[in-house]
Every structure is written in C-alpha cells, then in structure tokens.
Amino acid sequence: MSSSTSAAAAEFARRQHSPLQRVQHLLHGYPWLSPLVLLVLTTIVFTILNPRYISPNAQSLLLQQVAVIACLAIGQTLVILTAGIDLSVGAVAILAMMVMATLAAENGVPGLLAIVIGVTLAVGAGLLNGFLVTRVNLPPFIVTLGTLSIFTAIALLYSGGSSIQNNRLPDIMNVTGRTFSIGGFRLTIGVVIVLALYAIVGFALSQTAWGRHVFAVGDDPESARLSGVASKRVLLSVYTVAGLIYGLAAWIQIGRAGAATPNGIPDANLDSITAVVIGGTSLFGGRGGLIGSLLGAIIVGAFTLGLSLAGVDQQWRLLAIGVLVIVAVSVDQWIRRVKA
C-alpha cells in the first residue's frame, strides 16, 4: 500500500514538473526574470540595428533619461503590490517640484530647507491618498484620479504656470544633474540616488516585517487582517512612503531637466505604471518586486533610445509598449494560476 502511494506521488510530481510548469513556477518565484530576458533581447536587437546602442555614451544617456520614471516606479510598485494604483504620481512630483523651486527662487528660502518642505508636502499628499483609501474606504483608482486633478491645479496656481530655470536655483537643487565618470560611463548624482532608493526600499520589502505585510495585504487583505496584520495601517504607510519617493523624484527631475516646470514629466503616471507592469508586478497585488520595476523602466527607455538610433518613427514605441503591457498582464494571469 505504501509502495503504491509512493508511486502515485512520484507520478503526480512528474506531471507537475513538466517544462511549461517549471517555467510557470520559476516566473512565479522570480517575477523579474521575464523583464530581464526581455531587456537582453531588446539590447541584442537594437545593437544589431545600430551598434552605437551598446556604447557607453548611449547607455549612460539611457540611464539618465529613465532615472525619474524609475524613481516614481518605486512608489508605484509599493501601491500596486497592495492591489491599488496611483494615478496622482506625476501630479505629486510636479507639485513638490514647483513648491521647492518657487520657495528657493522667489521667496529666498535656503535650498536645503526648500527641498525638505517640498518633500514633506509630497509625503502629506501620499498621506492624504492613504487616508482616503483606508479611512474613507474609497477605491484607490477614484482617490488618485481625484487628487491627480487637485494636485495639478494647486501646482499651477502656486507657480503661476511658469518655469524656473536652474540659474535661479541654489546649487543643492541642481546637484542631482551633475555628472561623473565611471570608466566610459557618465552617470549623474540623480541616478546614484535612484539606485540607492531601490536598494533601501528593496531591502525593506524583502527583509523586514513591514515588507512581508505589504505582500500579505496585496495578496489577500482579509486573510492578512485575520492573521494579525494591521492592513489599513500598512496601506496608509505604503501611500505615505510612496509620497516620500515622489518628493525625492521631484528633486531629481530639477537636476535632470535643468529647470522646474509644470510640464516636466507629462507622461509620468502612465510611464510609471507601464514600468511596473512590464517589470512583472501583478496588478492584482501580492506578487512582484523592485528589481523588475527598474528593469521595466529601463525597457521603456530602451525602446525610445533604440528606435531613435535605428531611425524608426517613435510612434512605433507606443505600439511596442502597448503590446508589451498586454503581454505582461496576460503572462501575469497565467503565472497566478500556478499550482504548488
């Protein structure tokens, strides 16, 4: 009887580990593998089309271009991991950017203090989003759709809709745009800050109780609550931390663009969501990670740079990104059906 049971179990295990199911299990355990493979394939294709794509100068430009979206994608990842979505990401960053720049340029506030005030305002914006989601029990989509308009209007009213050039700003606000060389690569301080944020937040997600609670709430909030997780408190903290990240992204954007302008990152909302989705984080929550989001942001930038170097109309980028998003969500649906 025991021998028969063991044989049946062995046969069951053999069937469970067919090649396709192994891939399914692998992607379920390591969501960043699929964007990594896609990035490698993208690099190969664009290098064949134009060898300059793989040059240190081109890759340096790519990293500088995606720094802001990659930073915003950190906060967006946290929110999406909880099965939410943040449509106000760009508006929060622009509001923080215009406040810190206006305070420094027109009100004589010291640069560092202006940055702190701008970042604090972004934290408050994230806290407001979290309060409306957790205490008023409104859907994240509706909340952030509303605050998108509110924060955008406040930024325009406060700044008068005008841009502030870097020559009117203190050095500390422009420092994120300063470049330095590592071998043949030229990186900016902003890129280093973004990578540091990925390391810090990534550590918090993977190595702390807070990170485990974030995944638990996204996977099944009711089960998490019954297990003793303060689900609403975790959600509130996620939106607040996301606001902090958006505020830092605003500072990075000033250095990157050489100015503070209300139209500085017009596609931030969609690009940050796209980076997270292509990076393998599930829109249904509970599965994903920051490594994939970083790769996703680079992939989005790679298509822009690669098509430009290949002399292809940039409209094809929109087509390619749209297809990638649909494929990424379809793959996610397939992965979520994985069986133990």
Q: What is the CATH number of the domain that holds 194?
A: 1.10.3470
- Burial environment of residue 232 by CB neighbours within 10 A (0 to 12, 13 to 18, 19 or more): middle
SS3 at position 258: coil
pLDDT for 1 equals 45
pLDDT for 140 equals 96
Expressed as residue numbers, the domain containing 212 is: 31-47+54-335
Q: Are 53 and 305 in contact (CB under 8 A)?
A: yes
pLDDT < 50 stretches in the chain = 1, 10, 340
Gap between the terminal Cα atoms of the chain: 25
Task: Report how far residue 328's alpha carbon sits from residue 147's, in angstroms, rounded to the nearest whole number.
Answer: 28
Domain membership flag for residue 24: no
Partners of residue 179 on adjacent β-strands: 188
pLDDT for 27 equals 67
Domain membership flag for residue 22: no
Task: Report how far residue 35's alpha carbon sits from residue 40's, in angstroms, rounded to the nearest whole number.
Answer: 9
Contacts 24+ apart (CB under 8 A), 322-326: 324/38, 324/274, 324/278, 324/299, 325/274, 325/277, 325/278
Domain membership flag for residue 6: no
Q: Are 180 and 186 in contact (CB under 8 A)?
A: yes
Provide the residue count of the chain.
340
pLDDT in tens, 54-82: 999 999 999 999 999 999 999 999 999 99
pLDDT in tens, 295-329: 999 998 998 888 888 887 777 777 888 888 888 78
| Crossing angle (nearest 10°) for helices 33-49 and 290-309 | 10
Domain membership flag for residue 134: yes
Domain membership flag for residue 164: yes
Number of domains in the chain: 1
Domain membership flag for residue 18: no
Cα 52 to chain centroid distance, Å, stands at: 28
Domain membership flag for residue 11: no
Domain membership flag for residue 295: yes
pLDDT for 340 equals 47
Task: Tell me which H or E stretch contains 182.
Answer: strand 179-182
**pTM of the predicted model, to two decimals?**
0.89
Instruction: Return the number of other C-beta atoms located less than 10 Å from residue 178's C-beta.
Output: 12
